[in-house]
A and B are shown apart, each in its own frame.
Chain A
Amino acid sequence: MISRRSLLKWTAVAPALAAGSHAAFARMPHGLDALLLDERFSPEPQPGQPLIPVMRFAGDVTRVWYDHLDRRWREPGYVLGGITGSDALFVLENLAEQHGRRVVSRTVLDEPHFQGVAPISWVIAPHHPSVLA
Chain B
Amino acid sequence: MSALPPDMDAAGFARLLGELRGAVGSDWVWSGAEDMFPYRDSFSPVWNTGEERHASAAVAPENVEQVSEVVRIAKRHRVPLFPISTGKNFGYGGPSPNVNGSVVLDLKRMNRVLEVNEARNYCLVEPGVSYFDLYRHVEERGLKLMLDVPDPGWGSPIGNALERGVGYTMPHFRDHFGAHCGMEVVLPDGEIMRTGMGALPGADTWQEYPYGFGPDPAGLFAQGNFGVVTKMGFRLLPLPEYYRTGLITVPKRRDLIKLIEHVNYLSDSGMISEVRFASPLSSRMADPDFAALATKLGGPSDVEMDTAAEAVDLPSWAVDLQFLGPQAATLAQWEYAKDRILSDIPGAQAIAGDHFKLPATEQQLENTTQPYASGIRRKAALGVPSLGIWEIVRDDGHVGFFPVIPRDGEAVFEAQRVLGDAQREFDLPPYFSAITVPLFWHTHTFQMVFAPSVKHDDPEHNAMVHRAMKKMVAVAAEHGWGDYRASPIYQDDVSATYSFNDHILRRFHEQLKDAVDPDGIIAPGRGGIWPRRFRS
Contacts and interface: CB of A to CB of B under 8 A. Distances in A.
Interface in A67-105: 70, 87-88, 90-91, 94-95, 97-98
A108 B152 CA distance: 25
A15 interface: no
Given A60-B388, A87-B393, 7 more contacts: A60-B390, A61-B387, A62-B386, A62-B387, A66-B385, A87-B391, A94-B88
A88 B391 CA distance: 9
Contact of A98 (B42, B108, B387): B108
B380 to A, nearest CB: 12
A90 B393 CA distance: 11
Q: Chain B interface: which size bin?
A: 10 to 19
A94 B154 contact: yes
A43 interface: no
Contacts of A70: 132, 136
The 7 A-B pairs at the shortest CB distance, nearest first, are namely A60-B388, A97-B38, A62-B387, A62-B386, A129-B27, A61-B387, A91-B390
A61 B385 CA distance: 12
A23 to B, nearest CB: 13
B88 A65 contact: no
Contacts of A60: 386-388, 390-391
A97 B87 CA distance: 11
A87 B396 CA distance: 9
Contacts of B153: 62
Interface of B: 27, 38, 42, 86-88, 108, 132, 136, 152-154, 385-388, 390-391, 393
A130 B27 contact: yes
Nearest to B154: A95
B57 to A, nearest CB: 16
B393 A65 contact: no
A88 B152 CA distance: 13
Contacts of B393: 87
Contacts of B87: 98
A128 interface: yes
B390 A87 contact: yes
Contacts of B391: 59-60, 87
A95 B152 CA distance: 12
A14 to B, nearest CB: 23
21 contacts: A59-B391, A60-B387, A60-B388, A60-B391, A62-B385, A62-B387, A62-B388, A65-B387, A66-B385, A87-B390, A87-B391, A87-B393, A90-B42, A90-B390, A91-B152, A91-B154, A91-B387, A94-B38, A94-B88, A94-B154, A98-B86
A67 B56 CA distance: 35
Contacts of A88: 390
B135 to A, nearest CB: 8
A129 B386 CA distance: 29
A91 B389 CA distance: 11
